[in-house]
Amino acid sequence: MTYPIIRLRPKTDARAIRHGAPWVFADELVTDRRTKALAPGTICELQDEARSPLGIVTVNPNSKIIARMLDRDPAAVIDGAWLSLRMRRALALRERLFDQPYYRLVHAEADGFPGVVIDRFGDLAVIQPNAAWSETMIDLIAETLCEATGVTRVVKNGSGRARGLEGLPEEMVVLRGAVEGPVPVPMNGATYMADVLGGQKTGLFYDQRPNHAFGARLAPEGRVLDVFSHVGGFGLAALAGGARSALAVDGSAPALRLAEAGAEASGFADRFQTRQGDAFAVMEQLAAEGARFEFVVCDPPAFAPAKPALQAGLRAYERVARLAAPLVAPGGYLCLCSCSHAADLAAFRTASIRGIGRGGRHAQMIHTGFAGPDHPMLPQLAESGYLKSIFFRLD
């Protein structure tokens, strides 16, 4: 198959692309009238300025990331067979890692599907097509997904900041089967309830799974405070690990209702409580009440999703640590998390340690956790290693 050709600008260094970089930015590409006229999602052959092929890419002239690498073989044909090969390769890794079909099946560029996320919930899967090419091929992606995995229900979650950057509309569509309510998800000895149609992202965050498990080891028979709890991630895992009680704090009433449903389904309802409200305000209230917990975890949304928000985001992370530290009982544990792309581990760690100090506590750093193996990293793309969870023991 012959695809349209696009080229890097003169003097643009092609070595990064040859060595695995998956993106081409708008200021690196010749954007003449012909290139600008390409429909978002068009598949093209990328060449360097000397007309040597670099691979097959998908192009969106409306995006800052104007080209995303699909295949480094310039002879590749992007069709159903190509999709099936990549889907089955992604599936093989997850089937080796997990005994049950609950995981992130496709993690965007790291699995060779630029801008595409697929989370699997048993016989149901949620696709987030966050790049224009996947929007144009969504039906074929869904068909390939069903053939490879055997899932019978597929949801397209067309929401989120990434789609806006691609110029794509927001929409939620059930592509296959029917969805009648929250989906129960077994994980770390607990049952979580995923709202795949109305919840955050795909309905559940699989990335924290190993960090939930590590945290559960820190609070046997202890009291747990799970701040920014969403559907009860750390709290329910801690209860499964033997914690005496867990208090989940979140600003979303629907998320807390799902957390309560998960506690009920897990058999933990008598040890699980919720408090709705602004997390910062609730932590201040708990401190005023003299509340103390053997394990406190704060897993907020991304305070620094992009570089312009970095400094404000780091101040927010420092504030989280300052308010959380006094709530930890002597000798207890604190876990602070960041899913911000723009805040690297060193900057986040510095903000966290500063906040703990300002909260009047001294700490040992005992563990740093990242996303689970169903969220593989592409070494050439720092953004694929976004999650950081730092565990401390406080004096």
Catalytic residues, by residue number, are 339
Q: CA torsion 326→328→333→336, rounded to 10°?
A: -50
Cα–Cα nearest to 280, from 257, 251, 254: 251
Burial of 186 (C-beta count, 10 Å sphere; 0-12/13-18/19+): middle
Report the C-alpha gap between 366 and 221 in whole angstroms: 20
Element housing 366 (H / E):
strand 363-369
Residue 305 CB partners (closer than 8 Å, separation 6+): 161, 313, 340, 341, 342
Rg of the chain's alpha carbons, rounded to an integer?
22
Cα–Cα nearest to 120, from 140, 141, 145: 145
Strand ordering across the sheet containing 5-7: 5-7, 42-47, 53-59, 65-71, 23-25
CA dist list (Å): 372 to 209, 274, 355, 385: 6, 27, 27, 10
N-term to C-term CA, the chain? 65
223 contacts 243 by C-beta, under 8 angstroms: yes
CA dist list (Å): 42 to 98, 135, 138, 179: 36, 11, 14, 32
